[in-house]
Amino acid sequence: MTNHKINVALADRSYSVVVGSGVSKELENFLPRTAKRAVIVTQENIPFSINLSLPHTTVLIGNGEQFKSLQTIEVISEQFAKFGLTRSDVVIGLGGGMVTDVAGFAAASWHRGTAVVQIPTTLVGMVDAAIGGKTGVNIAQGKNLIGAFWQPSAVLCDIDALKTLPDRETRCGLGEVAKYHFLTGDDLLALELSARIARCVEIKADIVAADERETGGRAVLNYGHTLAHALERSSDFELAHGEAVAIGMIFAAHLAHSLGRIDDARLAHHYKVIRDSYGLGVVIPRSVDRKVLIDLMRHDKKAINGLTFVLDGANGVEIVGGVEEKYLHQAFDAMELP
Ligand code: GLY
């Protein structure tokens, strides 16, 4: 099976993303030449391991969003210090999106910037979280509110890691894959797994290369994410990220429809792709409160100009600020949330 290699073109911060079976075995070829030792940041339950001849140690972080915290960064950093990790060494993030976000932020902060190589082990990690240099942790007021743009030195997407992925994790990944469908119109389900992941990476790499720090176009990668982040928090993370993104894109479609940005056919297309083709859930859990969701969305990172969403329309998916609350109510009504 051929491997796919995608370049994320960011001048002196450019790097390769390699996708394929067994690619993590090539890890040593992707470590910075200056690295004399490595710290692997991972979790106990990751059923995928890597071989490394470089002197290394492993730091385990807890499972669950509550461990995506500054306290975890402190614990990891203490382990870096004990192991004697220097700025010319390397951190390796091995796990899902939560692990690569945390490992990336720990590396960004350690000695004001130490190299990180990401080895995502979930579909969400491979198609989205580990690519593009967004790293960070949560605080009580919201997800990923503290963090840094810190590009990895390389990303190795070893599809062998996906063999043991629980169905729910696969569904979550498909939520992000469906997002790329709406950004490009590509029929990603027609591709075999490595080619599909590689195409998603390519789409994201182009967007990131054009707007690394999200001063404009990169925001489209947050399609469906405004409601998704609010749903994740208000359901106490009962809904996983990708599941919430799928529902969030349906909400964004209803909102765009209420605003007159898309017609009935385009709204129906969202259901056809997300529910019928990708098999994802599209119903907002009845346990969440509409008012709480709206309040959380007001505090979204994108909400610089009032309630702000990434919405479909005649020009494709784009950022839309100053959305009046009445349109949100119309969208919630259409989705039958009391
Ligand atoms: N996951 C959104 C981004 O990387 O910009």
Ligand 1 neighbourhood includes 128 CB (under 6 angstroms): yes
Ligand 1 neighbourhood includes 229 CB (under 6 angstroms): no
Q: Would residue 141 count as lying in a domain?
A: yes
37 CA distance to ligand 1 centroid (A)?
Answer: 29
Q: Are residues 268 and 330 in the same domain?
A: yes
Domain final position from 106, 141, 172: 172
What average pLDDT is seen over the chain? Answer: 96
Task: Give percent above pLDDT 90 in the chain.
Answer: 91
Nearby residues of 315 by Cβ (< 8 Å), 6 or more positions away: none
Retrieve residue 14's tokens: 């450019």
pLDDT of residue 1: 65
Residue with CA nearest ligand 1 atom 3: 221
Domain final position from 112, 147, 172: 172
pLDDT in tens, 84-95: 999 999 999 999
231 CA distance to ligand 1 centroid (A)?
Answer: 18
Residue type present at position 121:
T
DSSP character string of 222-254: GTTHHHHHHHHHHTTT-S-HHHHHHHHHHHHHH
Q: Would residue 188 count as lying in a domain?
A: no
Atom number in ligand 1 closest to CA 214: 5
pLDDT in tens, 155-191: 999 999 999 899 999 999 999 999 999 999 999 999 9
Atom number in ligand 1 closest to CA 133: 4
Strand intervals (E) in the chain:
4-8, 15-20, 38-43, 56-61, 90-95, 115-120, 134-139, 142-149, 154-158, 309-311, 318-320
CATH number of the CATH domain containing 245: 1.20.1090.10
Q: Are residues 104 and 249 in the same domain?
A: no
Q: Is the pLDDT of residue 304 over 90?
A: no
Q: Would residue 217 count as lying in a domain?
A: no
Domain final position from 172, 191, 206: 172
Q: Would residue 64 count as lying in a domain?
A: yes
Domain span at 8:
4-172
pLDDT of residue 325: 96
331 CA distance to ligand 1 centroid (A)?
Answer: 25
Ligand 1 neighbourhood includes 143 CB (under 6 angstroms): no
Q: Are residues 152 and 64 in the same domain?
A: yes
Ligand 1 neighbourhood includes 312 CB (under 6 angstroms): no
68 within 8 A of 237, measured Cβ to Cβ: no
Q: Are residues 282 and 157 in the same domain?
A: no
Q: Are residues 261 and 328 in the same domain?
A: yes
pLDDT of residue 303: 75
Task: Give percent above pLDDT 70 in the chain.
Answer: 100
Q: Would residue 196 count as lying in a domain?
A: no
CATH number of the CATH domain containing 85: 3.40.50.1970
Q: Are residues 114 and 10 in the same domain?
A: yes
Atom number in ligand 1 closest to CA 207: 5
Q: Are residues 12 and 119 in the same domain?
A: yes
pLDDT in tens, 210-240: 999 999 999 999 999 999 999 998 998 889 8
Q: How many helices (H) and strands (E) does the chain have?
A: 10, 11
Q: Are residues 8 and 148 in the same domain?
A: yes
Ligand 1 neighbourhood includes 218 CB (under 6 angstroms): yes
Residue with CA nearest ligand 1 atom 2: 221
**Residues known to be catalytic:** 112, 134, 176, 204, 214, 218, 222, 225, 229, 241
Q: Are residues 15 and 86 in the same domain?
A: yes
Residue 318 three-state SS: strand
Rounded Cα distance between 272 and 99, Å, is 33
Q: How many domains does the chain have?
A: 2
pLDDT of residue 154: 98
pLDDT of residue 143: 84
Q: Would residue 213 count as lying in a domain?
A: no
Rounded Cα distance between 51 and 199, Å, is 27
124 CA distance to ligand 1 centroid (A)?
Answer: 11
Q: Would residue 181 count as lying in a domain?
A: no
List residues bridging with 59 in a β-sheet: 41
Q: Are residues 254 and 327 in the same domain?
A: yes
Q: Would residue 214 count as lying in a domain?
A: no
pLDDT in tens, 100-155: 999 999 999 999 999 999 999 999 999 999 999 999 999 988 888 999 999 999 99
Mean pLDDT of 37-48: 96
Q: Are residues 244 and 149 in the same domain?
A: no
Ligand 1 neighbourhood includes 225 CB (under 6 angstroms): no
Q: Is the pLDDT of residue 41 over 80?
A: yes
Q: Are residues 12 and 159 in the same domain?
A: yes
